[in-house]
Amino acid sequence: TVETPKGTLSIDVAYSVDGSPLLLDTLLYVDDVAGYAYMVNDVEYYLSDIKLIRSDSSEISVRNYQFMKAGRAGGSHFTISGIDTGSYCGISFNIGLTPSLNTFGKLPDIQDNQSMQWPAQYGNGYYFFRFSGGFGNPGDTSLLPFEMALGDNDNLVAYRFYSAVHIGLQTNSVAFEMNLNEWLKHPNDYDFNIYGPFSAGNPVAMGLLKANGADAVIIR
């Protein structure tokens, strides 16, 4: 049998707030739902079950999981090698970890994975997504902390993009963009003053975030 030649896929994620590039640690952004200003200190999450979709709708798995961190050199970019060359009609993945990976200790014992341990009082596993910073209501003289966090197997956010991906012998690229404001506003108005500035362990808050996350990532 003849081996199918292998190629490499490069994946990049850019971060924005309603079209403006994300600047960390800078009070720039306004939640247009609730009217408060906010800044972003960290965006950390896992991608998992990354697959390419063939024209017959079958899929090939190309990466089990990948840790991502906005603002870190290389933290929003990775490459996957050893992929069968050819034309694919799409790509799918999750934000969060699939249940088989979501038991603390299943991932390598390195600092990134340790820091993503889901709080023990809420269950066993890892943070799926963590978007944190500070916010101020009108008239506030100092910022209050917030952390929009997802965890628990029920809160995996699945994405499926039908867009041609060609894997040739050279490195091939796919780019995505995550709009952080989208996590707060569509289809649910997420107001920190109503639902609380910390979502971890709160099923209602995490359900709103999961639904909002469905269109927070687009393919570019």
**What pTM was estimated for this model as a whole?**
0.95
Average pLDDT, the chain: 94
The 3-state secondary structure of the chain, one letter per residue: CCCCCEEEEEEEEEEEECCEECCCCCCCEECCCCCCEEEEEEEEEEEEEEEEECCCCCEEEEEEEEEEECCCCCCCEEEEEEEECEEECEEEEEECCCCCCCCCCCCCCCHHHHHCECCHHHCCCECCEEEEEEEECCCCCCCEEEEEEECCHHHCEEEEECCCEEECCCEEEEEEEEEHHHHHCCCCCCCHHHHCCECCCCHHHHHHHHHHHCCCEEEC
Residues of the chain with pLDDT under 50: none
Q: What pLDDT digit, counting tens, does each position of 67-106 carry? A: 999 999 888 999 999 999 999 999 999 999 999 999 999 9
Share of residues in the chain with pLDDT > 90 (%): 85
